[in-house]
């Protein structure tokens, strides 16, 4: 069991990194990822994000924490980027600091509701990032149905080595065409079914992250995403099996 999407007091989370790691150990996870928000105007007034001048300190502190916990759990050092005009990407890319992380999550890719940038734009910067890159809690079937055939979307993610996070948190549920809130990967449409069939035939990797912000109880709540991947025979495609075994 893994949870590679969590926030701490470095951004808008309530737990310190150490409290988060303790909760992950208590929940019996093998891997826990810390993915605080990089500076975004979404959190503009709060100041609750990691800005470029603090990014190196963030990485160094979390690397020390990872070392401290190494015998109990694998702590991974990530970052979540709001992929929209709310984020200034250029200085971040120029700093090369992204490549000191274990992985980078991009949220709101092709998400019209959040004015997210396109997947094409992500592909243009992808070569500058040498560590694993993933899409955070993306309702793929909602965001891409009108843009790309399911097969083509999967081929692009495969060709550019972009992994897909499954987020079982209710706070990231989306509304299905019938108005019910559903978890993004369980979007009840034919397109979504085609998408998961195409994923099965691909080499695309998957992560599980529940985007925890508030309590220790959230850290271990990843069962639904794990069950979904198991049902689809995709547990051997977990990013942790490939990068941080
Ligand atoms: Zn998040």
The enclosing domain of 209 has a CATH number of 3.20.20.140
- Residues with pLDDT less than 50, the chain: none
CA of 36 to the centre of ligand 1 (A): 7
- pLDDT for 46: 82
Distance CA 5, CA 219 (A): 9
DSSP state of 183: -
Q: State both tokens at 143.
A: 């965001």
User: How much distance in Å is there from the Cα of 162 to the middle of ligand 1?
Assistant: 17
Distance, in Å, from the CA atom of 68 to the CA atom of 160, rounded to the nearest integer, reads: 34
- At 31 the pLDDT is 98
Tell me what pLDDT residue 110 has.
98
Determine the distance separating the centroid of ligand 1 and the alpha carbon of 227, expressed in angstroms: 21
Can you read off the two tokens belonging to residue 235?
């547990």
The pLDDT of residue 86? 97
Give how many domains the chain has, as a whole number: 1
The rounded distance, in Å, linking the Cα atoms of 240 and 245 is: 6
Residues whose CB is less than 8 angstroms from the CB of residue 11 and which lie 6 or more positions away in sequence, other chains included: 36, 37, 43, 48, 49, 50
Q: Which domain holds residue 154?
A: 2-243
CA angle 22, 16, 9 (to 5 degrees): 150
CA of 139 to the centre of ligand 1 (A): 14
Distance in Å, CA 209 to ligand 1 centroid: 9
pLDDT, one tens digit per residue, over 186-199 is: 999 999 999 999 99
pLDDT at 47 (0 to 100): 84
């Amino acid at each position: 069991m893994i949870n590679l999407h969590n926030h701490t007091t470095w951004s808008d989370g309530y737990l310190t990194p150490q409290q988060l790691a303790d909760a992950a150990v208590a929940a019996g996870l093998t891997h826990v990822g810390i993915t605080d928000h990089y500076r975004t105007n979404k959190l503009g007034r709060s100041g609750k994000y990691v800005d470029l001048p603090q990014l190196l300190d963030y990485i160094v502190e979390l690397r020390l924490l990872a070392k401290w916990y190494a015998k109990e759990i694998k702590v991974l050092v990530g970052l979540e980027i709001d992929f929209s005009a709310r984020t200034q990407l250029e200085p971040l890319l120029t700093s090369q600091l992204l490549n000191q992380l274990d992985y980078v999550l991009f949220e709101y890719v092709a998400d019209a509701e959040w004015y997210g940038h396109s997947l094409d734009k992500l592909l243009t910067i992808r070569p500058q990032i040498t560590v694993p890159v993933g899409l955070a809690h993306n309702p793929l079937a909602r965001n891409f149905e009108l843009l790309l055939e399911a097969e083509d979307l999967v081929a692009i993610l495969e060709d550019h080595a972009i992994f897909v996070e499954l987020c079982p948190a209710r706070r990231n549920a989306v509304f299905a065409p019938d108005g019910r809130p559903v978890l993004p990967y369980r979007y009840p449409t034919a397109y979504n079914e085609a998408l998961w069939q195409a994923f099965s035939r691909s080499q695309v990797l998957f992560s599980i992250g529940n985007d925890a912000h508030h309590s220790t109880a959230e850290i271990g709540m990843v069962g639904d995403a794990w069950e979904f991947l198991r049902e689809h025979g995709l547990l051997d495609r977990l990013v942790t099996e490939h990068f941080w075994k």
